A = this chain, B = another copy of it.
Amino acid sequence: MNLNFSDEQNLLREQIQKFCNSDYDFYDRENFINTESGFDPEKWKLFADQGWLAMPFSSESGGFDFGPIELSILFEEFGKFLVLEPYLSNVVLSGYILDNSSFDKKNEYIEKLISGEEQISLAYMEQNRNYDFKNITCLLEGTDSLSLNGTKNLVLNGSNADNYLVTVNHNDVTTIVVINKDTEGLSINNFKTVDDRRISQLNFENVSINTDQIVSTGDEAEQLLKDAINYGTLCVSAEAVGSMESCYLKTVEYTKSREQFGQPISNFQVLQHKMVDMFIETELCKSLLYKSMIDMHENNDSKYRSVSALKSQVGISGKKVGEDAVQLHGGMGVSEEMSIGHYLKRFISIDSQFGNSHFHLKKFNNS
């Protein structure tokens, strides 16, 4: 048994930390929130140049064969700085499906993704709360000429994507097709998310689909979706753990500098114990992260169950840590110009994604 990171993993963490420390100033970040894309294209280019976009891809696909541990490191560090760039939607979700599919044209998409040239988003959500990728109502009909009708909601980073991986129901078989953004019959509505990302809904009206757009079908498609979502769930949880760490550290720092009644408010025992609770929540979540990422790394049967435990706890703890951080920052905590409220928004957003806390508690119990 060994829960220590390898030297290579530690080096990766240092590399990401170095980038975030030097290039991810919060006020700088604020500027990109209000651009159309919502992130910094130059940083995305840098990610490509550093090879970060290739990390989890197999070497056959031009990647580094990095796994859940390395991705967790990346996301934990991203979480500390609230990194906006659309790594999750591109590399983790779409990337996983493409890389592990038997799709014969996958390399052309993967290449452009790794090089940062093109983006691709996964469209799997429809109408239900805690949507679980099954019961698809988007219908792909016909035999020779295929036609798609339906709506996909909450497509992460949808406004920046060049292509979409869309889950459809084809003769009651789960099917994933790849569709270009400029396809006729596809209309797109874009929204900002609460945590300053981009999200879209896609409406398909008699969109004609060629069979060479079919990425995966049936059991393979379902397994790919299940695993991609599990991967995504791990990554946002790791991100939340990083954000929690920043939150308690920033709160400690703030309370030490904020004076009231003639002394730093960090002298008040009630605030001290609240910060201790924030620290403990963070550490416990980190422990669950370790369990999950190693379970996934070792491909243990328990990997889905571990991730559900992690996501459930991160949902509760992130919200608690974020809310307490805001409370302890007082008025400054609810001010948009301080970073602390943005962490809270990210926690809420993460809890709402891929099934919330209670959903995963139930999933944990039933698996």
Report which A residues bind B (CB closer than 8 A). 268-270, 273
Contact = CB atoms under 8 A, between A and B. Distances in A.
A255 to B, nearest CB: 14
A278 to B, nearest CB: 15
Contacts of A269: 268-270
A269 B266 CA distance: 12
A132 to B, nearest CB: 27
Nearest to A273: B270
Contacts of A273: 270
A210 to B, nearest CB: 53
A286 to B, nearest CB: 25
A273 B269 CA distance: 10
A263 B330 CA distance: 30
Nearest to A272: B270
A235 to B, nearest CB: 36
Nearest to A267: B269
A270 B273 CA distance: 8
A261 B220 CA distance: 66
A268 B273 CA distance: 12
Nearest to A269: B269
A268 B268 CA distance: 9
Contacts of A270: 269-270, 273
A269 B263 CA distance: 15
A156 B273 CA distance: 43
5 contacts: A268-B269, A269-B269, A269-B270, A270-B270, A270-B273
A269 B261 CA distance: 15
A269 B268 CA distance: 7
A264 to B, nearest CB: 14
Which of A268, A270, A273 lies at the interface centre, i.e. has the most chain B CB atoms within 10 A of its CB?
Answer: A270
Nearest to A268: B269
A275 to B, nearest CB: 12
A273 B268 CA distance: 12
Closest 5 CB pairs of A and B: A269-B269, A269-B270, A270-B273, A270-B270, A268-B269
A269 B273 CA distance: 10
Nearest to A270: B269
A10 to B, nearest CB: 38
Contacts of A268: 269
A359 to B, nearest CB: 21
Nearest to A274: B270
A35 to B, nearest CB: 45
A270 B268 CA distance: 9
A270 B270 CA distance: 5
A351 B300 CA distance: 42
Which of A268, A269, A273 lies at the interface centre, i.e. has the most chain B CB atoms within 10 A of its CB?
Answer: A269
